Structure 1
Amino acid sequence: MTAPTERADAARNRLRILDAARRRLAADGFAELSLDAVAKDAGVGVGTVYRRFHNRAGLVYALIEDNETRFQETFARHCQDGAPSAHDRLRAFLHGMADLVDDNRELLLLAEASAPAGRYRSAPFRRHHEQIVGMVTELAPGVDAAYVADLLLMAYTPGLFDFQRTERGWGVDRVKRGLDAVIAGIAAVGEGGIAATGEAGPTSA
């Protein structure tokens, strides 16, 4: 049995509410994000917002999931454009993740504070992990792709990412350059320059 299709008016209201919440966050930050204010900005009744999202936390997680959907759609389009290599797909994915986390830092910090280990059990994290495992396996067969995926995803831990951006003053471009260096190392393993055991691979005379 298939899930019922969302009514067109309900879908429109959802988009209006999420857009209003994004504008409110951009203008005033999370402290000023209230369902009443969002309803007013969206031009819908307060009851509509409460029925749909229940509370502020529900709205926050809906924003995170909606932004994740947009990220996945953008990445899927990239993968269809000229059949890029595993190296290029992994680079586009990790760079896109950096932008995604930076754009959603406040939301992700809130989610991390409310459930510190919840990120690792979330559907987006499992999806990201599975995608990275596939690309790493293609780029460097024989490595422990699952462990490498965990290491790569650690770069997007909200608290660490925010610390790098605010306390260290790093730009997102610096984060991306660091990720490029890691990708280059993974590619070197795949090319046989370094064995998966950590020992030097065979070299040509």
Structure 2
Amino acid sequence: MAYDNSGRADAARRTRARVVEAAREQLLARGWAGTTIRSVAADAGVSRETVYKTFGGKAGLLKAVYDRTLAGDDAPVVMAERPLFASLRRASTAAEAARAYADVAAHIAEEVGPLLRVALSSRGADPQLREFAEQIDAERLAGVRQVVRVWGEHGWLRPGRTPEATADVLWTIVAPTVHELLHTRGWSRRRYRDWVEEALGALVLVRGGP
């Protein structure tokens, strides 16, 4: 009879979820410096060794919190295939693509914004945070390159710029630092969403195109 380890796997997922949630709450309440492996482990009801074994340390824990916040759950589904991106996948014109992408960008910015404000505000003083920032920037660039590739296949990209340069422009428009600057100016989610859509129409996608 084959050994069924599903119960152990479920327990491990629940433990991981508790640790990630405890870390998220502490990061938002105490900041990066005030959050420790010891305090996260205590709040989650596990040992420090469990946290280190699962996440590899504080930086790995932060990345897990970011990924969970960004995706909304721990399901092994890539972002592009999640329901959040359904309207973007269904877009049949450049205008629809701009609206859908602006909706996605505003949702993501609102979800991860508070966490990134905590993490990135201290990155200049901590090599782990600099590495985290570089990692999420690279992941965002990979994501926008995929979007630009699809838009290019549809013929929706504005002429006169290479796909790589277009990806750089899109990557900058939806950068967390840009959203943070606008947030400090008191911009609402709706205003930011509308600005992203306008920027896409002006800099990335054709107007009134196919």
* TM superposition score normalised by structure 2: 0.69
Q: Deviations over 1:92-149 (max 9, x none)?
A: 2333223323332354453564149725763343123212331354251573443222
Counterpart residue number, 2:84? 75
Once residues 116 and 52 of structure 1 are traced to their aligned partners in structure 2, the CA distance between those partners, rounded to angstroms, is 17
Bigger RCO of structures 1 and 2 (CA < 8 A, at least 6 apart) = 2
Higher mean displacement: 139-148 or 56-65: 139-148
Gaps of 5+ in 2: 1-5, 73-78, 125-129
Query: 1:38 offset after TM fit, Å?
Result: 1.7
Q: Deviations over 1:68-97 (max 9, x none)?
A: 4445423344457xx342543443233322
Gaps of 5+ in 1: 192-205
Coordinate RMSD, CA, aligned: 3.2
Query: 1:59 offset after TM fit, Å?
Result: 0.9
Counterpart residue number, 1:159? 177
Residues 170 and 34 (structure 1), Cα distance of their counterparts in 2 relative to 1, 3 Å cut: same
Counterpart residue number, 1:190? 209
Higher mean displacement: 57-66 or 178-187: 178-187
Identity of aligned residues (%): 23
Partners of 1:60 and 1:107 within 8 A in 2: no
Query: Which structure 2 residues correspond to residues 50-129 of structure 1 after superposition, within 5 A?
Result: 50-70=52-72, 72=80, 73-78=82-87, 83-87=90-94, 88-105=96-113, 107-108=115-116, 110=119, 113=124, 114-115=130-131, 118-119=134-135, 122-129=138-145
Once residues 58 and 93 of structure 2 are traced to their aligned partners in structure 1, the CA distance between those partners, rounded to angstroms, is 39
Counterpart residue number, 1:12? 14
Output the amino acid matched with 2:193: K
Once residues 136 and 120 of structure 1 are traced to their aligned partners in structure 2, the CA distance between those partners, rounded to angstroms, is 24
* TM superposition score normalised by structure 1: 0.71
When the two structures are aligned, how many residues end up with a matched partner?
184
Partners of 1:140 and 1:189 within 8 A in 2: no
Residues 41 and 136 (structure 1), Cα distance of their counterparts in 2 relative to 1, 3 Å cut: farther
Residues 79 and 100 (structure 1), Cα distance of their counterparts in 2 relative to 1, 3 Å cut: closer
Once residues 156 and 175 of structure 1 are traced to their aligned partners in structure 2, the CA distance between those partners, rounded to angstroms, is 10
Once residues 208 and 152 of structure 2 are traced to their aligned partners in structure 1, the CA distance between those partners, rounded to angstroms, is 10
Instruction: Give secondary structure in 1 for the equivalent of 2:187.
Output: coil
